[in-house]
Amino acid sequence: MMDATTETEGTPAKKTKTSCKYRDQWDSEFSFLKRSRVGDSHAFCKFCICDFSISHGGRNDVCQHEKSAKHKRGLEAQKHAQAMSVFVTRNATEADQVTHAEVKMAMLCAKNNIPFSFHDDFNKCVADMFPDSAIARKYSTGKTKATQIIKGAISAELEDELAKTCRSQPFSLMCDESNNRKTDKEFVILTRLYDEATLQVATRFLEMPTCNVGNAENLYEKLSEALRKRGIPWDNLIAFNSDNASVMKGRHNSVISRLKTSQPHVQDLGCICHLVQLATGCGIRAAQVPVEDILVGIYIHFDKSSKRCEVYKEFVDFTDSDHLKLLRYCSTRWLSLLTCIQRVLNQWDALQAYFNSHEEVERSVKVRDLASHLRDPIVKTYFLFLSAALKPLSEFNIAFQSEGVQIHRLEEEMCRLIKRILGYLIPARAIVGVPLREVEYGDGHQLADEDLFIGADTKAFMRSAELPVSAEKTIFQTVRSFYEAVLKKMFSSFPSPSTPEGPESAGPCSSS
SS3 state of residue 511: strand
The most confident of 14-23, 181-190, 426-435, by mean pLDDT: 426-435
pLDDT digits (tens, 9 = 90+) for 444-471: 889 999 999 999 999 999 999 888 999 9
Which of 399, 392, 421 minimizes the C-alpha distance to 491? 421
Residue 1: which pLDDT band, with cuts at 50, 70 and 90? very low
Distance CA 251, CA 353 (A): 52
Residue 202 has φ and ψ, to the nearest 5°, of -130, 155
**212 within 8 A of 229, measured Cβ to Cβ:** no
**Cα torsion at 369, 372, 373, 377 (round to 10°)?**
-170
Whether the full predicted model's pTM is greater than 0.85, yes or no, is no
pLDDT for 4 beyond 50: no
At residue 84, the pLDDT reads: 45
Query: Using one digit for the tens of pLDDT, what is the confidence trace for 76-108?
Result: 777 665 554 444 444 468 888 989 999 999 989
Q: What is the pLDDT of residue 15?
A: 56
**For residues 219 and 180, what is the distance between their CA atoms, to the nearest angstrom?**
16
User: What was the pLDDT predicted at 505?
Assistant: 31
Rounded to an integer, what distance in angstroms lies between the CA atom of residue 280 and that of residue 389? Answer: 10
Which residues make Cβ contacts (< 8 Å) with residue 367, sequence separation at least 6? 301, 355, 358, 360, 361
Find, among 279, 278, 257, the residue nearest to 268 by Cα: 257
Please state, for a pLDDT cut of 70, what percent of the chain lies above it: 89
* pLDDT at res. 361: 67
State mean pLDDT over 119-136: 89
> What is the spatial distance between Cα 55 and Cα 248, in angstroms, rounded to a whole number?
45
170-181: per-residue pLDDT in tens?
999 998 888 766
Q: What are the tens digits of pLDDT across the range 346-395?
A: 999 999 998 888 877 667 888 888 989 999 999 999 999 999 999 999 99
Q: Is the per-residue pLDDT at 504 higher than 60?
A: no
Contact 396, 351 (CB under 8 A): no
Task: Name the residue with higher pLDDT: 511 or 71.
Answer: 71
Residues 6+ apart with CB under 8 A from 324: 343, 346, 347
pLDDT value, residue 288: 87
CA separation for the pair 507, 512 (Å, rounded): 14
pLDDT tens track for 222-272? 999 999 988 899 999 998 988 878 888 888 888 989 998 898 988 887 778
Do 160 and 229 meet the contact criterion of CB atoms below 8 Å apart? no
Rounded Cα distance between 187 and 203, Å, is 16
pLDDT in the model for residue 390: 93
Helix intervals (H) in 52-133: 59-67, 69-80, 84-88, 94-111, 118-129
Instruction: Please name the helix (run of DSSP H) or strand (run of DSSP E) that holds residue 242, with its range, or none.
Output: strand 237-242
Which H or E run contains 175?
Answer: strand 171-177
Helix, strand, coil in percent for the chain, rounding step 5: 55, 10, 35
More confident residue, 83 or 312: 312
Q: How confident is the model at residue 340 (pLDDT cuts 50, 70, 90)?
A: very high
* pLDDT score, position 461: 93
Task: Give me the percent of the chain exceeding a pLDDT of 90.
Answer: 26
Q: What is the side-by-side order of every strand in the sheet holding 33-35?
A: 33-35, 42-45, 50-53
SS3 state of residue 71: helix
| Model pLDDT, residue 349 | 92
**What is the pLDDT confidence band of residue 399, given thresholds at 50, 70 and 90?**
confident
The yes-or-no verdict on residue 336 having pLDDT over 60 is yes
CB contact burial 284-303 (16+ within 10 A = b; e otherwise): bebbebebeebbbbbbebbe
